[in-house]
Amino acid sequence: MTEPGFVSSSTLQFLFAGYAVIWAALFGYIWFLARRQRRLEAELKRLERAVSEER
């Protein structure tokens, strides 16, 4: 049993890995959404121009 505040170096790598996974998943998902937003906004701009030209 460890004392409160005891730093167990053998488990620190797991702690690091756990939080690395959390941040990779969250930032990865937000990056995926941001990329999709840029593509959609560009596509909408193009489509609206095409529609207004047709009219």
Partner 1 sequence: MPEAKGPARDMTQTLGLLAAVAVFVALGLVFLWVPAERVMGDVQRIFYFHVASAWNAFLAFLVVFVASIAFLRSGSHRWDTLAYCSAEIGVVFTTITLITGPIWARPIWNTWWSWDPRLTTTLILWFIYLAYLVIRSSAEGSQQQSRLAAVFGIIGFVDVPIVFMSTRWWRSIHPTLIQTDKMNMEPSMVFTMVFSFVSFTILYAFLLSYRVRLETLAERAAALKRDLRR
The residue ranges that bind partner 1 (CB under 8 A) are 1-8, 10-12, 14-15, 17-19, 21-22, 25-26, 29-30, 33, 36-37, 40-41, 43-45, 47-48, 50-51, 54
Q: Least distance to partner 1 from the beta carbon of 18, Å?
A: 4
Longest dimension (CA), the chain: 76
Q: Least distance to partner 1 from the beta carbon of 12, Å?
A: 6
The position carrying tokens 């053998």 is 10
CA distance 16 to 5: 17
CB distance 2 to 8 below 8 Å: yes
Q: Least distance to partner 1 from the beta carbon of 41, Å?
A: 6
